[in-house]
Structure formats: structure tokens, C-alpha cells
Chains A and B, each alone.
Chain A
Amino acid sequence: MSGLYLGVASFLLLTIVVGLIRIVRGPTPADRILAAQLFGTTGVAALLLLAQGVSSPPLRDVALVLALLAAFAAAAFVRRAWTGGEE
């Protein structure tokens, strides 16, 4: 099974890389913020598969932290990086 986990994890990383085309192209800042969403969800899935594939449970905690950070990143992007100021 570990071959499957690692294979799917690599495939997910590939979908992130391909998704980056949108981030580069934009055209609006909102389109670029989608990177946080893309990395958050897909990255968490890839890390969970990796944790199983290489039998390394601590990677699950990394996934958990990534899930938390992605949420904050999106909120921070929207508030600061885009509007460029405080509310």
C-alpha cells in the first residue's frame, strides 16, 4: 500500500504545481490569494498520505499545523496584502 500512498502524494504535489499557473497569471489579487486555499487543502492531503506512506505519524501534526496556517494566511492576505492597510 505504501507505493499507492506515495504515488498519490506525488500526484497531489503535481496538481499544486500546475495550479500555480493560475497564481502566476492572476489576473486579480483575488486569484493569487487562491494559492493559500490550494496549498492548504491539497498540501494537507499530501502530508497525510506521506505520513502513512513512510510510517511517520509526526507528519500528521505537520498537516494539522498547515491546515491552521493556511486559514490564517488567507485571512491575513485578504486583510493586509490586498487592501494594504488596517481596517
Chain B
Amino acid sequence: MRAAIVRAGLLAALWWVLSGGAWSSWLFGIPAIAAALYLGFRLGSGGWRWTFAGAVRFLPFFLWRSLSGGIDVAWRSLSPSLPLDPDLIEYEFRLPETPARVFMSNAISLLPGTLSAEYADEKVRVHTLLRGPGAVRELERLEERVAGLFGLEMASRGDRA
């Protein structure tokens, strides 16, 4: 029930932004919010539980890394020697839950030199612009922040078969 109220509040805020705050627009806004709420729960996207403290830590990290990602790829595309040495690697998740994993695979593509290319529940295949350990380190750092964002404990590498 609380989730529904929070979600309705967010949708109402979104409607207010989209409609520019005109009163008459709520005639359409309220049915639209109701429909969105119904569809949201019907499609079962209820697994996105994130923590506020995690978000405060995640957001600057993500903005900083995507800034670096843009600068990195811009430099590579403008540099005459085209400094690329691509590779395809597999990364096994330590995150325990599917929604967090899906979120992470999307974030991967905005980080420097990594692009998520195939997602299978336990692992993700990542295309990298540069061969070597840098990409894996980047992914591990992202995974820690995503775990924080969703308030999750990560499995340690040793637990895996």
C-alpha cells in the first residue's frame, strides 16, 4: 500500500511537470495516473527497491563515470591513430537479484569503454574498447555501487562454483 502511495505521488509530480501545472489538465492527469498505477502493478515491476543513502552515493559516481566515458570515447574517435583494441568479455554477477542486475547491465553502457552486449541471468557479456583488466575493475566498482543503491549484500566470489 505504501508503495502505491509513493508511486502515485511520483506519477502526480511527473504529470505536473509534463502539463506545466495547468489545473484543467488534471481532468486527463488523474485517469492517466490511475492507468499507469494499474499497469505498473499488473506488469509486476515491484522489485525496484532502492535506498536513499545508496542513491546519494550512486548518483555522483554514475555522473562522474559517464562523464569520463564520454570524454574517453570522444578522445578515441578524434585521435588520428584510432586507439582501439576491442574485446568481448564475460562478467559474472555478484548481485543476488534480477532487477539490480538488469539495472547494472544498462548502466554498463554509459561507463568508459564498456557496452553490455548480452544479458543472461547469471552473467553479462560486455564489449570493451580496450583489452585488459581495466574494464573488469570498472565493472566491479559499478557493481558495488549498484549493490549499495538497492541495499543488497553481494555474494563473495568464493561462493560460486
Contact = CB atoms under 8 A, between A and B. Distances in A.
Q: Is any CB of A less than 8 Å from a CB of B in the complex?
A: yes
Interface of A: 57, 61, 64
A10 B20 CA distance: 27
Contacts of B20: 57
| Interface pairs A-B: 3 shortest CB-CB | A64-B18, A57-B20, A61-B18
A7 to B, nearest CB: 21
Contacts, number: 3
Interface of B: 18, 20
A63 B50 CA distance: 29
Contacts of A61: 18
A2 B150 CA distance: 43
A61 B22 CA distance: 15
A57 B18 CA distance: 12
Nearest to B19: A61
B88 to A, nearest CB: 15
B117 to A, nearest CB: 11
Contacts of A57: 20
A57 B20 CA distance: 10
3 contacts: A57-B20, A61-B18, A64-B18
A44 to B, nearest CB: 15
A64 B17 CA distance: 12
